[in-house]
Amino acid sequence: MSMSSSPKKVVLAYSGGLDTSVILRWLQDAHDAEVVTFTADLGQGEDIEPARAKAESLGIKQIFIEDLREEFTRDYVFPMFRANALYEGEYLLGTSIARPLIAKRQIEIAREVGADAVSHGATGKGNDQVRFELGYYALEPGIKVIAPWREWDLTSRTKLIEYAESRQIPIPLDKRGEAPFSVDANLLHISAEGKVLEDPWVEPGEYIFSRTVSPMDAPDTPTEITMDFHHGDPVAINGQAMSPATLLTELNRLGGDNGIGRADLVENRFVGMKSRGVYETPGGTILLKARRAMESITLDRGAAHAKDSMMPRYAELIYNGFWFDPEREMMQKAIDATQENVTGTVRMKLYKGNVMITGRQSPHSLYHPDLVTFEDGAADYDQTDAHGFIRLNALRLRVRRMLQGD
């Protein structure tokens, strides 16, 4: 594919909503380009098939609608969770991890249909424009990228509505006013930001949340579950084997019913500003806690600590959009190498927003009861050996103090 000033065919990431419908028409008007739409089901919780009829009504001939829930969970969410990734100590990266898959499929479709450009609906203020476009260029260096929010003059909701009306684009009644906040959703999470959430001092109203009950209103009786792992990935809940997407869906249900997974964060965007977001990640919150419990008895201390030391950088790479970066791929191989024996079962209780680990077992457990017991006769450990160990580790501290004096 070669870069050109005027694209002939564009693959658009299309939700079927008002904004991307306006983008679709604008691409036809402003660039005189043939548009191919791509709509993905990533578990956002709504029927995506209506996007086909909307695209057809706007004159689109080539329409791709795909269920990517299994691929998303298996090839993106689970590998990321093997790293126990948290951005800035709290964010489970629900939006960030979805963008590489969408970018990949857009490029694949562009190759399939002979398109010379791709387009997305991310604004010029957010991280998503970076995530999409880094993915595009990593996979197809010569592709032309069209970012409407950086090009057009439809800079207000009023102008957007007026443009839609002038082009006979249907406008849902709930879209005519200013939306109270912006939403992004997939199988891992749902996020809300902007408008009523822009003041970080103002508490988010209960109407913001859709996947979780309030922890205060959650059941008064704990829900006890088990989760089975194989090579670091969850494979069963309560002994029932499930596919990756089915398992995450069930975890979302269990977590949501018990008020688990809410987070109200002010994060540092890659593009430079701070942003307040309210997130619900019920299944991911449970999975992270269970994974760390499983690793606690199956990972060597050195491997576990090395992995933990890599995690902040790994999370930052994903947050900033560098999924296809060689550094992320290198770290992924190192992380995956630690997971061979992360197999077994974790038991936990879910209660009013909390995930409480109550047990863990593994055929590869490194936990040795004879070594930690307070009883006499423990195998292979002589307590007097600790004296020399401590003296050796204290040597540099003692030398420093002796040479420096008081």
In sequence order, what DSSP letters do the residues of 320-367 get, joined into one string? Answer: HT-TTSHHHHHHHHHHHHTTTT--EEEEEEEETTEEEEEEEE-TT---
Supply the pLDDT for residue 177.
60
Does the annotation mark 99 as catalytic? yes
Supply the pLDDT for residue 3.
46
- Identify the active-site residue in 52, 167, 182, 257: 182
Instruction: Tell me which residues of the chain have a pLDDT lower than 50.
Output: 1-4
Element (H, E) at 22: helix 18-31
Token pair listed for 128: 């998503």
- Identify the active-site residue in 128, 191, 360, 362: 128
Does the annotation mark 214 as catalytic? no
Supply the pLDDT for residue 355.
98
- Identify the active-site residue in 25, 69, 99, 211: 99
Q: Which of 161, 146, 193, 176 is nearest to 21 (CA)?
A: 161
Looking up tokens 């600590």, which residue turns up?
305
Does the annotation mark 119 as catalytic? no
- Measured at the CA of 277, the angle between CA 232 and CA 128, to 5 degrees, comes to 75
Q: What does the alpha-carbon distance between residue 331 and residue 321 come to, in Å, rounded to a whole number? A: 15
- Identify the active-site residue in 19, 116, 228, 233: 19
Q: What is the edge-to-edge ordering of all strands in the sheet holding 274-280?
A: 182-185, 190-193, 274-280, 262-268
Supply the pLDDT for residue 178.
63
Domains (ranges, CATH) in the chain? Answer: 9-69+96-178 (3.40.50.620), 183-299+338-361 (3.90.1260.10)
CB-CB contact of 28 with 59 (8 Å) = yes
